[in-house]
């Protein structure tokens, strides 16, 4: 990146915005901080008690993935630019 925020209007550009290092650092940081707080509140007691099941581990993964997706949604929403106006072809009737 050259100091300007990347924007997107096509799927290919969207992918490059999501994986841009400045955005990836922010979204992963959010996922780790928020995910860890929620994990500690919701799953840590069960795991520490030795009662973790496959469902608990699935919930743990979702505990981290949810804030990652939400923060990415924020990045995607904030960086979207409308596609350039396409010329319309009108048929004379």
Please tell me the distance from the alpha carbon of residue 6 to that of residue 81, in angstroms, as a whole number.
10
- Is this structure's pTM higher than 0.75? yes
Q: What is the pLDDT of residue 6?
A: 87
Strand partners, 80: 8
Q: What is the pLDDT of residue 83?
A: 76
pLDDT tens string for the chain (93 positions)? Answer: 455 678 999 999 999 999 999 999 999 999 999 999 999 999 999 999 999 999 999 999 999 999 999 999 999 999 998 877 455 566 666
Please tell me the distance from the alpha carbon of residue 21 to that of residue 1, in angstroms, as a whole number.
9
Q: What is the pLDDT of residue 92?
A: 61
The domain locations on the chain are 11-79
What are the residues whose beta carbons fall under 8 Å from the beta carbon of 86, sequence distance 6 or more? none
DSSP secondary structure letter of residue 35: H
Please tell me the distance from the alpha carbon of residue 27 to that of residue 64, in angstroms, as a whole number.
11
């Amino acid at each position: 990146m050259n100091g300007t925020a990347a924007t997107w209007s096509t799927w290919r550009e969207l992918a490059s915005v999501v994986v841009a290092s400045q955005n990836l650092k922010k979204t992963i940081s959010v996922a780790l901080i928020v995910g860890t707080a929620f994990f500690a509140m919701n799953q840590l007691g069960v795991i520490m008690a030795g009662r973790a099941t496959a469902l608990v581990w699935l919930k743990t993964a979702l505990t981290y993935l949810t804030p990652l997706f939400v923060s990415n949604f924020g990045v995607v929403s904030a960086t979207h630019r409308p596609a350039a106006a396409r010329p319309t072809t009108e048929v004379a009737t």
